[in-house]
Structure 1
Amino acid sequence: MVKTILIISESIDIEDSSASKVNVALIKNLKKIGYQIRVLHYTRKEIQLGNAIECIAIPEIKFSLYYLLSRTQRVFQRITKINVSKYLERLFGHSFTFFNDSKSISKAIDKYYDDEDLIITLSKGASFRPHYAMLSLPSKHNNWLAYIHDPYPFHFYPRPYNWVEFGYQFKEEFFRQVSEKAKRSAFPSQLLKEWMGSYFSNFLATGVIIPHQNLEVDANLNIELPAYINPNYFNLLHAGNLMKQRSPVGLIEGYKLFLTQYPEAKDCSKLLLLGNADYYKNYLQNQLNNTIYWSQGNVPFFEVDIVQKNVSVNIILESKSEISPFLPGKFPHCVTANKPILLLGPHYSETKRLLGDGYPYLSEVDDVECIAEMIGTLYTNWLENPKQLLDRPDLEDYLGIEYLKAQIENGDGN
């Protein structure tokens, strides 16, 4: 039985990425279960998570060949304006900074590991530095659970993501080793486990599903609703960055079509978009009016949380694709908010799988007429009962600590 856990997290700063939010949520829920937790993190600043969770910031090694090479590269690029990263990654697979960071992390693991029953590596973005660090510590592989939050390397992402990184063959070999060396692996979604298992078959044998957890906001913060939301309105919210592959055009055009079909809603409804959207900046700025609001940048997590809990509908927007194996980091927050979810995504989607085949509020991301119809149905339901709820105790259980404990204690990975 697992009693003690050493967690290696690339970051525990909840404001720097969605991955960091879910990392912290997982850490806190593991503590709630009753495990003794120690966290090594590479956030580069002191952060404490409270609740008797020991958090140790990993220092960067500043006296090494990799450190010297990384700083020399930065100076060279700043002076010459020539980016040599792509040439170096073709030769070595990763940047000098990546190698130095990974060495810094592995050194800290060696120093602070105290025979914990389990070591969990958590990362963010397309980095996986803690996983690379663990490969250099073979004596600890039998205690290692490698958490894989997204496909890796980048060329394993489903379309429309079609970026092939420099040094991709080195990155592919790196993850092949992770799949073979880690005693156990974990994925936030069933579809992601199957997706990565199609490239590295050992993940199918070692993988368990640990869905993203809900990150609770401190009740003592006493947060007020921001001025851009009227709680008496029919409010629809999309919270999260809008990348190039995650287009809001279908949603906005569908909402505008809804307003033409229900003109009275112009006086009592609002579409809220919170987060960065650099690729769609010009389009969004031309859409803003009394019924469409965009934050034009990141919004603190505590603010997003209270808005999610006070809107009429939370929106999950995915890419135009044949499959979306990702579990969005905001999915547990939408379930906890307990408001109807409007899912805009492909037919094969982890979110759709969890909501179920009979879930009524689904549309392809670019099907404007269907989106308008879904919003119209949600609006009609809201008029009849403004307190409409998602009411999915099955999803609350799936995202809860009892399921989490069962997966952690599932020692054989099957």
Structure 2
Amino acid sequence: MKILVIEQDLRVSGTSQGIISRSFLYRLRNAHPKAVINVVYLKSHPSDDQLHLLPVDHIESHILNLKVPFFTKLINRFYWRLFHVSLVVEHINKVYGACIAKIEYQSYDHIFVRSAGLAHETILGCKDLPILKKAIVNFHDPYPIFWYAGTTKALTNLELFQMKSMQKVVSQAKTCMSSANAMAKDMQFLYGSRKKFYSLPHQYCESVFDLSDTGKALKKGKAITIAYHGAIQFGRTIENLLDAYETLVHSNPLYSEKTEFILRLKGIDLKKLAERYTNTPNIIILDTLNFSNSCYEQTHVADINIILENGPLYCNILVGKAPFLASSNKPVLCISPPVSELRTIIKDEKYIAAMEDKLEIQNKLEQLILSRVNNVEPVYPFGDYFNEVNFKWRLNEILEDK
């Protein structure tokens, strides 16, 4: 069997997509150890991505020149307003498409097309290319951004025309998939697909990373450490969680003496947030770290990890950190909207709290702290959802689709 994977992000830090994509390649190799697995890696700038750690047969990297010509940008000032098509976006997608068009794909049994970010350039770059007839197109996030749960972006004519391009890709592809069951159903309906959208959950595999850099990780300061590392975006809110923890700390000396809450955040004004909780020194707000140091803090320093899902009403994506935190076998508290992907995966209610309910967050956080004080045994909030058996079963269902 020969498998081709077109990737847009294999970075070792700075993005959850790189972590997810690297882990996907590891799981793909484990599921089909005798297969020939080749990767075409399309990126926009040079980076040291430790590609030698990936268990594939060959990786072909291309650094694409995405600089848009001045004349194109000039014309686009008027063009997109008249015709609702961005010449800048079209130019970038064509750069990806020109590179993909050169791939000799005919000998491959299966082809995965995976993208990164919100623009889905590798996927849209495949539009009208014959490679799509053999391609399994992976949606890591909804497209366009208007359909991303938690966004405040308005729906524009520009996005409606972009949807037409994506609908053409969907109709031309062999099949499509996403990382979440809810998103697969939503995207299948959104694009009117007559073919099934499959679901293949994100994975995490430690062996495709060099995790030796731990020098910047914070040392444990209290008996129980709670941690959140990540972005505040798309309806994710941190204030209700911090308010609930602050109330807990000030209600009982046990929590002020024995617990700390470390936050590594991006996408929010850290100084302003720190000022809001200045009377609670147990709340430690810091800048983000590279993945190796962040991984160490969450797996070796933290006792309880936090997940923030998109909100406030609905989250149809699977957050990238879920399989990573599942691998640590530690308690998590997932702050979630009423309907979400993780609510269908985490069966034990003690690991999930409503993002708008401060009292529920406080009570469940307290329960997790108390349960962890005298018990460091492994726990499995996600069950076996992210194990290799489930991945292989779902993967083979996609590969066998005719």
When normalised by structure 2's length, the TM-score is 0.87
For the 8 Å contact 1:10–1:130, the answer to whether it is kept is yes
1:131 corresponds to: 123
Mapped partners of 1:159, 1:392: distance in 2:
24
Mapped partners of 1:153, 1:392: distance in 2:
29
Change (3 A) 1:396 1:225: farther
Structure 2: runs of 5+ lacking an equivalent: none
Percent identity among equivalent residues?
A: 18
Mapped partners of 2:143, 2:394: distance in 1:
24
1:341 corresponds to: 332
For the 8 Å contact 2:217–2:293, the answer to whether it is kept is no
Amino acid at match of 1:56: E
1:81 corresponds to: none
Mapped partners of 2:96, 2:211: distance in 1:
33
SS of residue paired to 2:94: helix
2:2 corresponds to: 4
2:259 corresponds to: 269
Amino acid at match of 1:120: F
2:177 corresponds to: 186
Change (3 A) 1:174 1:236: same
For the 8 Å contact 1:70–1:96, the answer to whether it is kept is no
For the 8 Å contact 1:91–1:167, the answer to whether it is kept is no
The answer to whether the aligner puts 1:45 opposite 2:46 as a matched pair is yes
Mapped partners of 1:110, 1:178: distance in 2:
14
Change (3 A) 1:392 1:317: closer
Structure 1: runs of 5+ lacking an equivalent: 77-83
Mapped partners of 1:160, 1:220: distance in 2:
34
Mapped partners of 2:207, 2:368: distance in 1:
28
Change (3 A) 1:385 1:225: farther
Mapped partners of 1:233, 1:248: distance in 2:
23
Task: Give the Å deviation of 1:37.
Answer: 2.0
2:144 corresponds to: 153
Task: Give the Å deviation of 1:95.
Answer: 4.4
Mapped partners of 1:378, 1:329: distance in 2:
23
Task: Give the Å deviation of 1:220.
Answer: 6.2
Task: Give the Å deviation of 1:125.
Answer: 2.0
Change (3 A) 1:95 1:302: farther
2:307 corresponds to: 316
Change (3 A) 1:281 1:200: farther
Mapped partners of 2:103, 2:384: distance in 1:
39
Cα deviation code 1:288-347 (max 9, x no counterpart): 553112222x31111121222121111111233221101000000010011111011112
Change (3 A) 1:292 1:11: same
Task: Give the Å deviation of 1:352.
Answer: 1.1
Cα deviation code 1:216-257 (max 9, x no counterpart): 256764344755341762111112111262111001001111
Number of matched pairs: 393
Instruction: Pick the aligned partner of 1:58 from 56, 62, 74.
Output: 62
SS of residue paired to 2:126: helix
The answer to whether the aligner puts 1:143 opposite 2:134 as a matched pair is yes
Change (3 A) 1:53 1:216: farther
2:400 corresponds to: 410
Amino acid at match of 1:15: S
When normalised by structure 1's length, the TM-score is 0.85
SS of residue paired to 1:370: helix
Amino acid at match of 1:70: P
Mapped partners of 2:214, 2:221: distance in 1:
12
For the 8 Å contact 1:153–1:171, the answer to whether it is kept is yes
